[in-house]
Every structure is written in structure tokens, then in C-alpha cells.
Amino acid sequence: MTVDVEFTDTSAQALSFSLAHGRITPLASTVVDLSPSKGQTRSRLELHVIGSSHQVILNHGDTDAFIETFACLGEDERPDWGTTRTTDGTWSGFARHRFRCELTDVVGRFADAAAEVVAASSAHDHHLVVDFPGEPGALTALALTRSEPEQVSWQTWHCYPQHRQIVHSHSELRRRT
């Protein structure tokens, strides 16, 4: 999907991470129903592209139970590349969130690296790939990689062709054991 918005994020170094930021109106979304059976409160995982950044929202009933924001907001916590961040909390029955992100400098053709991102994200049933006009290879992709009663996982890719960098994140929510 191509959005009618120019690519404007500055760089991977401008990304910040938050579990406390409110909902941001997305440019594009895909929503996955996580409800295990009829009669239970509806749970959804919303994968959102905001700018060339992302939000993932766990919605339980009519409530946003959890929001992960990884965006160029100029606030919150900067990523610690290659380190797993673990946060305990209470998010609609989930008790632990893990987040890890890697920054890769692309040495070959950026178009080839961007095509690999599209292929990796599109390999999953529930995914979203958004291209931004004006900068070839400028895209953001999200994919739900696991959806089980005890764990929900997703990955994201943020491509910065002007700096020849790709940010790849891995996240999961786990229930109490």
C-alpha cells in the first residue's frame, strides 16, 4: 500500500520508544481479532503505521489495554540497539512485554534490502506494508508473527533509505504463568 504522505521521519537515531504514549491517528492499519471464542470479550491487535513509525495497540472490549509506540516523537526513551527491554505490567491479562530492536546499515543496493523487508513481513498472514512516495525504499512494515492464548508477538521494519539504514524490532506480550 502506498500512502499519499511524503516520507518525513528524520533518522533511526530520532526514534523513541514508549508504552505510555496515547493513540495516534494512523496512516494505515490492519486489525487482527484475538478473541478465542464467541461470548468472550472481544480482543483485537491493531497494527498501525504512523508516519514511518508504528503503534501496536491491544484493544480489549472498547478499551486500549496496551499501546507500544516506536516513533520519531522527540520524547520518551531512545532505543538501546540490540538489547531486550522487558516491562512487567497488567494489559488485559498479559503481564510481560519484551521489545528488542536492531539497527542495520545497508551495504548493498537499498532497493534489494527493502524488497527483503517486504518479503519477510508479507510471509505472515497478518501484515501491513506501507510505501512512502518521494523516496524509493522508504517503507514501514509490521507483521503479527505469533498469536496464541499465552503469547502474542509481532515484528516491525522501518526503512530509512536516505541514511541507508533499516530498523527491525521484535515485540511480544506474555500472560502470567
pLDDT tens string, the chain, 177 residues long: the values are 544 555 555 688 889 999 999 999 998 999 999 876 666 678 899 999 987 689 999 998 889 999 999 998 776 678 889 999 999 999 988 999 999 999 999 999 999 999 999 999 999 999 999 988 878 898 999 999 999 989 999 999 999 999 999 999 999 999 976
Q: Are 58 and 94 in contact (CB under 8 A)?
A: yes
Give the DSSP letter of residue 120.
Answer: H
Cell matching residue 116: 527483503
Say what the pTM is. Answer: 0.91
Q: Are 121 and 157 in contact (CB under 8 A)?
A: yes
Q: In what order do the strands lie in the sheet with 63-71?
A: 16-18, 63-71, 53-60, 43-50, 28-33
Handedness of CA 169, 109, 14, 143 (dihedral sign): negative
What does the alpha-carbon distance between residue 134 and residue 118 come to, in Å, rounded to a whole number? 18
The confidence score (pLDDT) of residue 51 equals: 76
Q: Which of 15, 9, 24 is nearest to 168 (CA)?
A: 15
